[in-house]
Amino acid sequence: MSDIKFSKDETDRIVSHIKKYFIDELDQEIGGFDAEFLLAFFAKEIGPSFYNRGLSDARLVLTEKAEEIGYLIDELEKPVG
């Protein structure tokens, strides 16, 4: 897996959320540079866990849908003889 990278707009939006979180929840102001550094850290260290969870969830949905399609195909079978 390659490094998780965000567009400038995504980064700006996430940094804004991080700064707001620090103010609202920790009563501490954090600068944009520090918030970007924190984002980069989380993307590198924690991002792969979220990415893998997303893949696992997608695999489960795909498996369930494939099984459902199998049942639908079975219903289309015509009686023989």
Mean pLDDT for 6-32 is: 97
Mean pLDDT within 53-58: 98
For residue 1, pLDDT over 70 is answered with no
Residue 2: predicted pLDDT: 75
In SS3 terms, 19-34 reads as HHHHHHHHCCCCCHHH
Tell me the pLDDT of the chain averaged across its residues.
95
| pLDDT score of 31 | 97
CA distance 34 to 55: 30
Instruction: Give me the pLDDT at residue 5, please.
Output: 87
